[in-house]
Amino acid sequence: MTCQQLAITAFGDVNNLQLQSAETPVPEGRQVLVGVSFAGVNPIDAKTRAGLGWAAQQNQDKLPWVPGYDMSGVILAVGEEVTQWTVGQHVCGFVGFPLAGGCYSEQVLADAETLSAVPETVSLAHAAALPLAGQTALQALEKASVKPGERVLILAGAGGVGHLAVQLAKAKGAVVLATCSADNLEFLSALGAEAIDYRAQALNTGMKPVDVLIDLVGGEAGIEAQACVKPGGRVVTVPTITAEAVNASAKMAGLHAQGMLVSPSVAQNDLMLAMMAKGELKLHISEHFNLEAGAQAHRQIETGRTRGKIVLVMKG
């Protein structure tokens, strides 16, 4: 038996994403074989395909390489040591991070301990889109030690990580401000944020200082937004490529700054799935692309203007 995968054949353009056939893997030991229904598409996938970042450096001699770190689907088979999962269960997970990837595939092997059960009231598409973005959002807020009543500014609040971070910060009792384009002002307001059109005016114009900055943009935007943070405030910057510069600038301004790399957590995934099941956390999917249209999905995510999340749909 074979399955279809979308692989990076060479670093560079989106056209270097090519379909390939692979032998259906057989789970052993603690492994589970998942028939993938949906795979999340994340900016790190496009960054790696372009040849940027640590995952690209580590995998440059292993091409073709199948990207994708989060997925949902149905268990097809389990290894002989697996007791907590059975064939037919609906699961999702943040798997293969950071070096194995593999979720842009009709079938993927995952360690039993990396999976979460998908609640009946959560769609498989939404379950696939949650893990990486949701855990990035939650861990950024935890790293910033966000407390009830604090003012939190989130850059790129309408994006995949951002729109979840807005809601999770609200759930922590914070007052949330978030930047976006004019098209997304209403979207973010509906999620409970004070939405700010970053093109309309300088961020700190008339803004009461914030306690925390969650920087999901990096670079100059991440540095300029530090003017909105009160003396001694906290900054967490997520984009790794510009983290050093953003942190250096923040420290010169007397702010407490740190970068972060998301770390997979089943407990956090379970928590957010439960919130979604209760309607306490809403995940927005802007577009679905078939696996063979993965290049289009990468083009879309590289615009930096995607509202919420994008998923790949498998035929299997």
pTM of this structure: 0.97
Residue 193 pLDDT greater than 60, yes or no: yes
Structural domain contains residue 290:
yes
pLDDT tens-digit series, residues 239-257: 999 999 999 999 999 999 9
**Same domain as 111, residue 223:** no
**CA-CA distance, 152 to 173, in Å (whole number)?**
10
Residue 204 pLDDT greater than 80, yes or no: no
Average pLDDT over residues 219-236: 97
**Same domain as 105, residue 138:** no
Retrieve residue 230's tokens: 């009160």
Phi, psi of 191 (to 5 degrees): -90, 0
Average pLDDT over residues 285-291: 98
pLDDT tens-digit series, residues 127-169: 999 999 999 999 999 999 999 999 999 999 999 999 999 999 9
**Same domain as 297, residue 196:** no
Residue 201 pLDDT greater than 90, yes or no: no
- pLDDT at position 116 is 98
The count of residues in the chain is 316
- pLDDT at position 316 is 54
Q: What is the DSSP letter of 28?
A: -
CA 35 to chain centre: 21
Q: By three-state DSSP, how is residue 233 classified?
A: strand
We report the CATH number of the domain holding residue 246 as 3.40.50.720
**CA-CA distance, 277 to 275, in Å (whole number)?**
5
| Strand pairing category for 309-313 and 107-111 | unpaired
| Nearest residue to 41 (alpha-carbon basis) of 252, 301, 247 | 301
CA atoms within a 13 Å half-sphere pointing along the CA-CB vector of 73: 30
Average pLDDT over residues 171-177: 98
**CA-CA distance, 196 to 194, in Å (whole number)?**
7
We report the CATH number of the domain holding residue 15 as 3.90.180.10
**Average model confidence (pLDDT) for the chain?**
97
Structural domain contains residue 275:
no
**Same domain as 309, residue 241:** no
pLDDT tens-digit series, residues 56-110: 999 999 999 999 999 999 999 999 999 999 999 999 999 999 999 999 999 999 9
Question: What is the widest separation between alpha-carbon atoms in the chain?
Answer: 63
> Would you say 119 and 276 are in contact if contact means Cβ atoms under 8 Å apart?
yes
Structural domain contains residue 303:
yes
Is residue 36 very low, low, confident or very high in pLDDT (cuts 50, 70, 90)?
very high
**Same domain as 174, residue 117:** no
C-alpha dist (Å) from residue 309 to 32, 54, 161, 242, 292: 26, 23, 8, 23, 18
Dihedral sign, CA of 161, 162, 164, 168? positive
Structural domain contains residue 273:
no
Structural domain contains residue 204:
yes
**CA-CA distance, 110 to 290, in Å (whole number)?**
22
Residue 46 pLDDT greater than 80, yes or no: yes
**Same domain as 167, residue 123:** no
Q: Strands, E, within the chain: which ranges?
A: 2-8, 17-23, 31-41, 70-78, 90-94, 107-111, 115-117, 151-154, 175-180, 194-197, 210-215, 229-237, 256-259, 285-290, 309-313
Structural domain contains residue 276:
no
Q: Could you tell me the residue range of the domain that residue 215 belongs to?
A: 133-259
**Same domain as 182, residue 218:** yes
**Same domain as 211, residue 118:** no
**Same domain as 126, residue 155:** no
Average pLDDT over residues 110-128: 98
Share of the chain above pLDDT 70, in %: 100
DSSP 62-108: S-SB----EEEEEEEEE-TT--S--TT-EEEEE-STTTT---SBSEE
Beta bridge partners of 288: 311
| Strand pairing category for 70-78 and 107-111 | unpaired
- pLDDT at position 202 is 81
